[in-house]
């Protein structure tokens, strides 16, 4: 008996505790629809509905159009809460909180930091009726988890276009099962929830992916933030993923370590022909800080180098305008695998190994089929040539993908708003 107790004490995620947690979660999932009905009954006659958007990274913000529509509607009172990312250390937490806070302040949105000489108790200090969560992952403090707001209606717009084969992480966490509404990118993504989630996807509505609304909005005016305005100098985005390790990251997308220095060679060699925007995943910097061959000093110097060169730039925030005003992309991302295709521009993926497709879901594999694939430096050179109008054959593939993968649901949804 004593030995078993010692095992339980040393291992809080023991089989016993895991099963106990599953039983508790099953009870909460069963209770969720009743909680939602009570919450709806409570607010259905309210003249003003207070809506909170819990955001951890500005780059995860996919609700801009919805927020603006709510601001224009007298029935809604929308506000932003910048929540901390606590899983990557204090420096990362404070840097990203400040970056995200400033991003929303620059847009003129009513924004609150969750830290003000101490962590604020949102539930106590604000009377909320509806919460939009930007991330399904437990990146922040427990007091901002969905379990603490079960009496309030909750929604989630995926921060990325669902691409991973790890369906549990994006469709069946307790988070997904407790939501009032989970807005799905396509019929295929809804089916993932039906097949995977413990609530069988009863809370899933298909809306398309709001993250690409602006790509289809003919009235949207993008900002040109590229250093060189001469359109003859081609604009290429390099967007590496953060998963540079092997053991900790089950997706293992990133080929950053292979191409990190080579991109500077390209920038210098084609100085008068191209400019490259470095758009790293927001967690890549922290991954490099912890890498034995990199560390903080080398990583910071590397990032700064992208800002210092004449024909390169560092982009760490929101990226819609960057995409629209670009000519091509090179990436090993998950969501960008799908998002960038909506623009019908040349795109190349740098694979780290031959098993990437095994880590993608069925939808993402359709997107993968219309990519150029690089597994060596020579292939990157080929993309530079493709950037010119006479060789943009990939456009045809991109259109075919859009028409056959439910991406046009996004366009239909935009027209009904």
Do 24 and 151 lie in one domain? The reply is yes
Domain that holds residue 319: 234-416
Do 265 and 315 lie in one domain? The reply is yes
Residue 385 lies in a domain: yes
Do 244 and 200 lie in one domain? The reply is no
Q: Please identify, among 207, 242, 274, the residue that sits at the C-terminal boundary of a domain.
A: 207
Q: What is the CATH number of the domain that holds 262?
A: 3.40.50.2000
Do 291 and 353 lie in one domain? The reply is yes
Do 130 and 69 lie in one domain? The reply is yes
Q: What's the pLDDT score for residue 242?
A: 87
Do 389 and 249 lie in one domain? The reply is yes
Residue 4 lies in a domain: no
Do 195 and 275 lie in one domain? The reply is no
Do 165 and 42 lie in one domain? The reply is yes
Residue 312 near residue 278, CB atoms below 8 Å: yes
Residue 218 lies in a domain: no
pLDDT in tens, the chain (417 residues): 445 444 545 555 566 677 788 889 899 999 999 999 999 999 988 999 999 999 998 888 999 989 999 999 999 999 999 999 888 888 888 888 999 999 999 999 999 998 877 888 998 899 999 999 999 988 888 889 999 999 999 999 998 899 999 899 899 999 999 999 999 999 999 999 999 999 999 999 999 898 888 898 889 999 999 999 999 999 999 999 988 875 555 677 888 998 999 999 889 988 898 999 999 998 899 899 989 999 999 999 999 999 999 999 999 988 999 999 999 999 999 899 999 999 988 888 888 888 889 989 999 999 998 888 887 655 566 655 555 443 333 333 443 333 333 233 323 322 332
Residue 216 lies in a domain: no
Do 203 and 247 lie in one domain? The reply is no
Residue 225 lies in a domain: no
* Cα–Cα distance, 153 to 182 (Å, whole number): 11
CB proximity list for 371: less than 8 A, separation 6 or greater:
337, 347, 348, 349
Q: Please identify, among 172, 207, 242, the residue that sits at the C-terminal boundary of a domain.
A: 207
Do 269 and 179 lie in one domain? The reply is no
Q: What is the CATH number of the domain that holds 150?
A: 3.40.50
Do 80 and 44 lie in one domain? The reply is yes
* Cα–Cα distance, 133 to 387 (Å, whole number): 37
Residue 368 lies in a domain: yes
Do 164 and 309 lie in one domain? The reply is no
Q: What's the pLDDT score for residue 153?
A: 96
Residue 227 lies in a domain: no
* Cα–Cα distance, 53 to 278 (Å, whole number): 28
Number of domains in the chain: 2
Q: What's the pLDDT score for residue 226?
A: 97
């Amino acid at each position: 008996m004593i030995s078993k107790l010692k095992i339980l004490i040393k291992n809080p995620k023991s089989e016993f505790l895991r099963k106990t947690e599953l039983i508790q979660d099953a009870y909460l999932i069963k209770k969720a629809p009743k909680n939602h009905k009570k919450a709806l009954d409570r607010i259905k006659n309210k003249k003003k509905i207070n809506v909170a958007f819990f955001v951890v990274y500005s780059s995860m913000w996919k609700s801009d159009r919805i927020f603006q529509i709510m601001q224009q509607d007298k029935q809604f009172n929308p506000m932003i809460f910048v929540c901390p990312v606590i899983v990557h250390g204090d420096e990362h937490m404070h840097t990203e909180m400040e970056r995200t806070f400033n991003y929303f302040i620059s847009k003129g949105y009513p924004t609150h930091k969750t830290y003000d000489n101490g962590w604020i108790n949102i539930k106590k200090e604000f009377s909320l009726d509806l919460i939009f969560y930007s991330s399904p992952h437990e990146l922040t403090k427990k007091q901002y988890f969905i379990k603490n707001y079960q009496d309030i209606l909750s929604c989630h717009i995926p921060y990325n276009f669902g691409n991973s084969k790890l369906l549990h992480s994006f469709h069946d966490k307790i988070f997904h099962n407790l939501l009032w509404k989970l807005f799905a990118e396509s019929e295929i993504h809804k089916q993932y929830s039906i097949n995977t989630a413990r609530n069988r996807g009863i809370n899933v509505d298909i809306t398309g992916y709001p993250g690409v609304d602006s790509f289809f909005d003919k009235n949207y005016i993008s900002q040109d933030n590229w250093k060189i305005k001469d359109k003859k100098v081609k604009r290429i985005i390099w967007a590496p993923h953060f998963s540079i390790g092997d053991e900790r990251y089950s997706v293992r997308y990133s080929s950053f370590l292979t191409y990190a220095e080579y991109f500077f060679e390209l920038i210098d060699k084609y100085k008068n022909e191209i400019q490259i925007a470095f758009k790293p995943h927001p967690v890549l910097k922290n991954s490099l800080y912890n890498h034995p061959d990199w560390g903080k000093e080398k990583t910071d110097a590397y990032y700064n180098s992208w800002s210092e060169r004449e024909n390169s730039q560092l982009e760490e925030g929101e990226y819609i305008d960057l995409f629209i005003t670009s000519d091509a992309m090179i990436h090993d991302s998950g969501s960008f695998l799908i998002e960038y295709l909506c623009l019908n521009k040349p795109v190349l993926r740098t694979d780290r190994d031959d098993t990437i497709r095994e880590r993608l879901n069925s939808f993402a594999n359709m997107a993968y089929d219309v990519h150029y694939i690089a597994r060596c430096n020579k292939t990157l050179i080929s993309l530079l040539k493709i950037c010119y109008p006479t060789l943009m054959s990939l456009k045809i593939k991109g259109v075919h993908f859009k028409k056959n993968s439910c991406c046009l649901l996004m366009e239909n949804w935009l027209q009904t708003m």
